[in-house]
């Protein structure tokens, strides 16, 4: 499906050399634009940019976002970042927000590595090539999973109630009670998902375009089609709403492992800020997440879901640890906050309550996906 060319007199000519690449963009291409993060970004940016969303619709449930994109005035291109011709179908653009990814940390664990490598690395290459042709700025959404498993496993922890927390004194640089900072060591294995995203980060640095990288932790909110290996917050709430079982996996099967949670709307605010002043953050890499204030253990997440829904479900226990599982990850947002003034604002109660109301209001369409 193609989209019409940009309205004459609206979009700047690609490749101009008058400094326009550092001005607020007019036409924005969002790859992975029908996914959870991409579609929310597209809708948020559509109020003051011309937005095109490109997506292959491979992930089940992404087709449900098409009406939301259309009502927000977002043009849609059915395309795959693995195919350069599909990107060309989107036409010229001033800015690229690269959200496309195979986001599962389990991708390639049992073989079948082609898709994650071709999508996350080759697909990113095609996106960066398109951005270079148009002289467009790039916001690249990377992941906290670029940090190696062994390093994260070596962190000093303190056990407090139904959770673990990071100790102040740590054996590695870039780690503290605030979380993981950008100077945390990168040597070591990390999962194919993390490796391909890190490789794409390095690739982007070779391009002569304005760019910024956001290494995101767990993101949550309405319209996330959560699965066990990605989108666990929405999945946890969906199981409490629609029924079904869950398990605490690994680390004794206690459910005390920790992640920080960032509401997708807070991420949208940051990306919008970056697009409108990319010169100020050009060439920078930021860790972006909910931070220690908005961190939660799986057991605590269960308690919150029970409180909001009034329901209890079976939570199993499995002590077997899966490859690349980590006990704790919390984002230290100090660098991005210092550079932009941004910080997450949406608490866990509000995030989970919004997910609950979304599930209840759209049960007929989303229950078959999330069950």
Structure tokens at 293: 């204030």
Q: Which residues of 224-260 are buried (b: 16+ CB within 10 A; e: fewer)?
A: bbbbeebbbbbbbbbbbbbeeebebbbbebbbbbbbb
**Sign of the C-alpha dihedral computed for residues 131, 344, 315 and 313 taken in this order:** negative
Q: Pairing between strand 258-263 and 295-297?
A: antiparallel
Distance separating alpha carbons of residues 38 and 79, to the nearest angstrom: 14
H-helix or E-strand containing 316? strand 315-318
Q: Could you tell me if 99 and 65 are in contact, meaning their C-beta atoms sit under 8 angstroms apart?
A: no
Distance separating alpha carbons of residues 63 and 173, to the nearest angstrom: 43
Q: Which single residue is written with the structure tokens 């050009």? A: 282
Q: Cα–Cα distances in Å, from 337 out to 47, 243, 262, 289, 332?
A: 25, 39, 14, 11, 10
pLDDT at 228: 73
pLDDT at 1: 41
Phi-psi region of 111 (alpha: psi -120 to 50; beta: other; left: phi over 0): left
Q: Which residues of 88-106 are buried (b: 16+ CB within 10 A; e: fewer)?
A: ebbbbbbbbbbbbbbbbbb
What number of other Cβ atoms are within 10 A of residue 361's Cβ? 11
Which stretches of the chain score pLDDT less than 70? Answer: 1-23, 229
pLDDT at 117: 95
Q: Could you tell me if 234 and 35 are in contact, meaning their C-beta atoms sit under 8 angstroms apart?
A: no
Q: Cα–Cα distances in Å, from 328 out to 32, 133, 164, 218, 346?
A: 28, 41, 7, 12, 21
pLDDT at 160: 86
**Sign of the C-alpha dihedral computed for residues 75, 76, 81 and 83 taken in this order:** negative
Q: Pairing between strand 27-31 and 50-55?
A: parallel
- Bridge partners for 29 per DSSP: 52, 96
Distance separating alpha carbons of residues 228 and 235, to the nearest angstrom: 7
User: Which of 242, 224, 243 lies closest to 234 in space, CA to CA?
Assistant: 224
Q: What is the pTM of this model?
A: 0.92
């Amino acid at each position: 499906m193609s989209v019409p060319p940009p309205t004459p007199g609206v979009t700047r000519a690609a490749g101009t050399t008058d400094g326009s690449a550092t001005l607020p963009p007019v036409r924005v291409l969002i790859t992975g634009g029908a996914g959870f993060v991409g579609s929310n970004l597209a809708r948020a940016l559509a109020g003051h940019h011309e937005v095109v969303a490109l997506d292959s619709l491979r992930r089940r449930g992404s087709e449900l976002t098409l009406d939301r994109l259309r009502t927000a005035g977002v043009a849609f291109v059915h395309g795959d970042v693995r195919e350069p011709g599909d990107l060309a179908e989107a036409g010229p653009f001033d800015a690229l927000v690269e959200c496309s990814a195979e986001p599962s940390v389990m991708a390639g664990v049992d073989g079948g590595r082609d898709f994650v490598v071709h999508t996350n690395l080759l697909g990113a290459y095609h996106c960066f090539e398109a951005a270079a042709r148009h002289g467009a700025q790039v916001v690249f959404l990377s992941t906290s999973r670029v940090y190696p498993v062994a390093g994260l496993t070596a962190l000093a922890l303190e056990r407090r109630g139904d959770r673990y927390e990071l100790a102040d004194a740590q054996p590695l640089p870039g780690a503290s009670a605030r979380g993981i900072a950008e100077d945390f060591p990168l040597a070591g294995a990390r999962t194919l998902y993390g490796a391909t995203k890190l490789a794409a980060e390095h690739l982007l640095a070779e391009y002569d375009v304005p760019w910024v990288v956001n290494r995101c932790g767990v993101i949550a909110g309405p319209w996330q089609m959560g699965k066990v290996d990605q989108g666990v917050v929405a999945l946890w709430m969906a199981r409490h709403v629609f029924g079904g079982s869950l398990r605490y996996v690994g680390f004794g099967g206690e459910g005390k492992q920790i992640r920080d949670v960032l509401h997708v709307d807070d991420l949208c605010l940051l990306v919008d800020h970056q697009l409108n002043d990319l010169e100020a953050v050009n060439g920078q890499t930021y860790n972006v997440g909910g931070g220690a204030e908005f961190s939660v253990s799986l057991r605590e997440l269960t308690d919150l879901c029970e409180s909001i829904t009034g329901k209890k479900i079976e939570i199993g226990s499995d002590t077997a640890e899966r490859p690349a599982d980590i006990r704790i990850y919390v984002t230290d947002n100090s660098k991005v906050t210092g550079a932009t003034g941004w910080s997450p604002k949406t608490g866990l109660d509000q995030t989970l309550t919004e997910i609950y109301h979304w599930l209840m209001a759209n049960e007929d369409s989303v229950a078959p996906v999330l069950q």
